[in-house]
A and B are shown apart, each in its own frame.
Chain A
Amino acid sequence: MSWVAQQPHIIWTLRDGSSSLGMIKGYLPHGATVAAAMSGAAARRSLLVPVTGCVFVRESIIYSSIESAPAAPAPNANVLRAGVLMFATAAPGQLGAVALPGLLPGLLALEGCAAGLDIDTAHPDVMALVAHLLTGAYSNPFGHELTAVIAGYMQERQ
């Protein structure tokens, strides 16, 4: 198992007169910060706008990596079976959700009316994951920090 960082890149998304979307991709040097990349992107966008009749609707700075030598997955891992963890957030009344495709069946509750459906949040492996998600590094899509797990259940997808 070895993770290899790819070249960071920027993708601009453009819309033309028929509402079709196109894109322009450019690479950034390793170590480019988001702030520097966004600043550079704005400067370069101002040069691109005059040469195209399309409008710029989105720009994304992307840091990607790949596993060059992946291990074998567990034979019973199944991405169609997803565990969902629900979180309270720092904003009252706002929730956060994390979906985990392939959650192992051994992490489901064994007792009670929701046995086989609810995630056993007291399981050490689940607790370790939840503890990391509550370190302040993660949020819901509105930027509200995850503060406590309030529920966990299994859902099946087609």
Chain B
Amino acid sequence: MAFNTRPTAQLTYGVVDGTGSKGTMQFDIPYGTLAAAALAAADVLRPLIQTVTGCVITSQSISYSSVDNNPGLPTVDSRIERKGVLQFLTAAGKTVTYSIPGILSANVKQSGGIDEDEVSMALLINGIKDVGVIFVDSNGVDITAYKGGYERYRASTKGMLPRERKPDPDILPE
């Protein structure tokens, strides 16, 4: 169980053509490239692409990823549909909500509220409130206070349902 960086970061452009159809194009950037340098290169590349394609670039993202190629086993009965919803306040008074898939029942009170006194949950809440690189709101304002939390269930999508839901061919009428 160890996270390894991918060899490259991905620069992705979203484009729109003359019919309104959307497409994407992707370029690989060596992982060691600083984000500032990658963004500068992307700024140069955009007009060059628009010149040769005639499409308009409407969005751009640069993604640096790392993956665990040998993750441990999840808890057998863990389900991402079961979410722990944590709400915080920013320094500007805005509410920020985080949704944690597969929340363990030990972190949920009988009422359905999040048990913020449970040790691991208290550590997480304090970690989110800490001034640090991760966890600000969508405007970049720091998170300063815990507001509350609860458990909620999300409907399963078709892709989440088990194969066993399909009828056994042996019992189908001929």
A103-B53 contact in complex given A47-B124, A53-B102, C-beta closer than 8 Å: yes
CA distance A67 to B43 in the complex (A): 12
Q: Does B168 contact A (CB under 8 A)?
A: no
CA distance A39 to B132 in the complex (A): 10
A96-B138 contact in complex given A44-B127, A53-B74, C-beta closer than 8 Å: no
**72-112 of chain B: CB within 8 A of chain A:** 72-81, 84, 98-104, 107
**79-134 of chain A: CB within 8 A of chain B:** 79-80, 83, 96, 98-104, 107, 125-126, 128-129, 132-133
Q: Does B145 contact A (CB under 8 A)?
A: no
Candidates B53, B107, B140; contact of A51 at CB < 8 Å: B107
Beta-carbon contact of B59 and A55 below 8 Å: no
- What size tier do the contact residues of chain A reach? 35 or more
* A-B CB contacts (within 8 Å), total count: 282
Beta-carbon contact of A14 and B80 below 8 Å: yes
Q: Chain B 1-26, CB within 8 Å of chain A: the 1/0 string?
A: 00101011100000111110111111
**Interface residue count on the B side (C-beta < 8 Å):** 91
Query: Nearest-CB distance from B165 to chain A (Å)?
Result: 12
Query: Nearest-CB distance from A18 to chain B (Å)?
Result: 6
A16-B61 contact in complex given A26-B135, A56-B71, A143-B30, C-beta closer than 8 Å: no
Beta-carbon contact of B54 and A76 below 8 Å: yes
Beta-carbon contact of B101 and A24 below 8 Å: yes
**128-147 of chain A: CB within 8 A of chain B:** 128-129, 132-133, 135, 137-143, 145
Q: Chain B 50-78, CB within 8 Å of chain A: the 1/0 string?
A: 01111111111111111110011111111
CA distance A33 to B159 in the complex (A): 35
Query: Nearest-CB distance from B13 to chain A (Å)?
Result: 9
Beta-carbon contact of B99 and A143 below 8 Å: no
Candidates B8, B45, B63, B140; contact of A61 at CB < 8 Å: B63
| 17 contacting pairs across A/B (C-beta < 8 A) | A44-B128, A44-B132, A44-B135, A47-B123, A48-B100, A52-B84, A55-B71, A57-B67, A57-B68, A63-B38, A64-B61, A65-B60, A67-B56, A77-B54, A103-B52, A129-B49, A137-B41
